[in-house]
Structure 1
């Protein structure tokens, strides 16, 4: 059986029931899953689904739905936007794909989900080659040899007749630990998530090499309690992907056919992280860049409640001791005029960080090789305090080849250098 091509939509698109392969059963399962997560990922309509700012992949039963980013009139080619999303996740280190060129040639993922599954399989193969980690664990056993500590009450309870046995508690040094148990649980899940024969074959090969391990009940706390040391640091990548798979998977208990797995990212957060990492790559040594740098904004007089403000990015030229605020927006301002709420937010940021300028940073609706800047200034206050600036800056997401623009970071850095000199 060949792998089914994923159904691809853009963020904020509508998907109607009976459109392509999307059925009423899929609609019901997605609604149940969304309800379990506070209704944040999408909205249900009477006859379909309305997606919002979350991008990524949702699998419902045997149907894979990819929600792709897109801005304005930029190319409608969904295969290109799939690559853009994967490249953006990779640039933000939210996905590390195709570490080896040979792997990319041997198996090209059919979907974003399969890209994650392939990466997890590759990590597990590497860990097996290196040797699965061993750890000490405490074990209670009723055996024929006296080793460890004899538990008298259990010994009398179980061995009143079988006096040749000993009920003991002792330490065992083996591979039956939480790290390997998580790997095994995630590997057993993969065949239910993919129809790719190549992925299934590789998983079955791995399962044959795994030792018998205890079945682990996984929760968010399981991953929070993991402690990585010198012996387990190389497990970190695999644990992150296992958490994505195991914590976002919800089996359909009633029907058993429409399980749901969602790996979704808020596009606003992804855009902010992408801009931050591009700036870090090109920043001069005398700059500091702080992400989500919070300050207290308001507090109740009795101290029981406070509110904080935190701009997306604060770029500071330490030589000139001047700051510029960057607030990323994955949307298009109508007629290049920002919303009132955004302007008020920028004014407060300028005040509290004593910045000379605040920039609302938007993506271009078209592929342009240069930045577009619309300068703006707040009106001076009546007490004669000088006004500070607030402008709109548009940057190109894609280059002329319809790929992520590699010049974005350097162009943005040059622009900020000029702003600091004004």
Structure 2
């Protein structure tokens, strides 16, 4: 026998059980195998055009051509902190202030998109935050990768009230109360715009109150910014919360992704920005934090990938491309807003039980439909319409050819089944 059975294997079944399959990609695989011609994928958060196809932004296509036409480009390693022309432009895009205002208070690291930025910040905080056993507070609900990223970094996770299932709006009073009650020095994870999964954001005045609560409670802010410009088409509006926190002198991490707003999904292009409190110690603090982030980045990925950062840098730093990019952002955000309006209108026309105004009051890629798990299951098994069991829908999967079909499907299943116990 070439490979005799070994009963002393280190990785025994009891030590290495099967991990649960990823829900998103499991549903994606099921969708791909579905033979129904009318099937609709409302699971994965990636933009699709009105033909239901992936869309390469015209400005990104131009940047790619410029990159390949440049004979001086090469494939050498980037520095540990990444492509600094990209990082500098990314920070300016978020914070909107001049270099002289930022240089003593912040440092930026290129990361493996937004997920890598959250991870790098989480590992740093688990090692260096000056609070014994710090708690991470996430919104309820939140992006489902937040919990494993922070727990894998060794941090304990709790949740603050955020979404009201009754009103389908922000539970602002509950959120503020939970932030006030959290132990001083807690890590509060906030989504800057187009909250995933609910599509419900605080107003600007509410963000101002949140910032005031964060300062008075001595919490550390950790922003996740995955949809700047993609949410409303307005870069300034989508980064209001981050800019306000910066202006208020609040110490924070900001995880920034260019997957959605540049369509660089597969390039995994992102940044982690550290912003220190203002004052005489700021520059020294930034340098020390940057040194430890460099050490962590070096041990985990050595240096970040080159291609996506080069393309993003061209778009962000070229005046013509950056101006044209605003048109691309408007194209995406306006199409999604149109699909929201058409879905709501069709449901109301059909007389579907319930109030569907939340479809258009929510913003961004995702809609929290209010459908229960059993209704979602019936949508998939009877109508071949796929979304997450929570009822979260990727609005980008809707188009002029399928939006009426999806509305008919929702109308058919609403109230037909109860939540399974």
TM-score relative to the length of structure 1:
0.23
- Whichever of the two has the greater Rg, that structure is 1
Larger helix fraction of residues: 2
Larger relative contact order, structure 1 or 2 (CA cutoff 8 Å, min sep 6): 2
Larger strand fraction of residues: 1
